[in-house]
Structure formats: C-alpha cells, structure tokens
C-alpha cells in the first residue's frame, strides 16, 4: 500500500480487557513509531522501533503497555487491563530511516467503557 495503515480504525472495549492495535508501515521504512493523542492535544510519543528492536520505549506510560515488531515490518501495540484513561487515538508513523520525516497512519480510536 501507499501509506501507513492501522487496524482496527475504531475499538470499543470494556475496562479490564486486553487489546491489540496493529500498524503496517510504508514498505521499506525501517523506523516505526507509536504515539497517543487525546482530544485537543498533540500526539505524545510512546515507543520507537528501528528494525525489530525497540530503540526507545520511554514514552510507554506503564507496564500495561507493550509493543512488538518481530519481523521489522508490522507492529502491534498491546494494552493489558485497559482503563478508561487509556481512551485516545493511537497513531502509528514510519520513516525511511530515523533521520527522515515521519508519515502517519489514520490511527485507531480506542474507547474504554
């Protein structure tokens, strides 16, 4: 595909449940980033992958959040024991390499009820 894709586009879950959000980066992009955006705010960094490894996970809010990128392409953001405060739009971005501009996907809107 031409751009970054994310699935699902919307996810509604109950408090305490586990969710997985998927990101397909632009083909050939080695760097992949996850951000979280709350209403009325700019995106906030969560984690960055270079290849298969998490180069920087300093933005993950707590140990309920985890992300993987096992083959250096698709990434999955996993949230355990969801809380209402996790409700936000989760954005994924990729870049050719870390020094290039980041291109964003359409995001997944997560609602925890």
Partner 1 sequence: EDKVVQSPLSLVVHEGDTVTLNCSYEVTNFRSLLWYKQEKKAPTFLFMLTSSGIEKKSGRLSSILDKKELFSILNITATQTGDSAVYLCAVERSNDYKLSFGAGTTVTVRA
**Where does this chain bind partner 1 (CB under 8 A)?**
4, 31, 33, 35, 40-45, 48, 55-56, 58-59, 89, 91, 95, 98-99, 101-107, 109
| Residue 19 or 60 having the CB closest to partner 1 | 60
User: What is the side-by-side strand order in the sheet with 19-24?
Assistant: 5-7, 19-24, 75-79, 65-68
Q: Which residues pair with 73 in a beta bridge?
A: none
CB 47 → partner 1: shortest distance, Å? 9
CB 65 → partner 1: shortest distance, Å? 15
Backbone angles phi and psi of 55, in degrees to 5: -80, -25
Q: How far apart are CA 26 and CA 42, in angstroms?
A: 22
CB 49 → partner 1: shortest distance, Å? 11
């Amino acid at each position: 595909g031409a751009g970054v894709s994310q699935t699902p586009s919307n996810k509604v879950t109950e408090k305490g449940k586990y969710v997985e959000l998927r990101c397909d980066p632009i083909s050939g992009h080695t760097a992949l980033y996850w951000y979280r955006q709350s209403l009325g705010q700019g995106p906030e960094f969560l984690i960055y992958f270079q290849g298969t490894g998490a180069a920087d996970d300093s933005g993950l809010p707590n140990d309920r959040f985890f992300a993987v990128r096992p083959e250096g392409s698709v990434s999955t953001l996993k949230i355990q024991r969801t809380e209402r405060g996790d409700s936000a739009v989760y954005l994924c971005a990729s870049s050719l390499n870390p020094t290039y501009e980041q291109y964003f996907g359409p995001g997944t809107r997560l609602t925890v009820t």
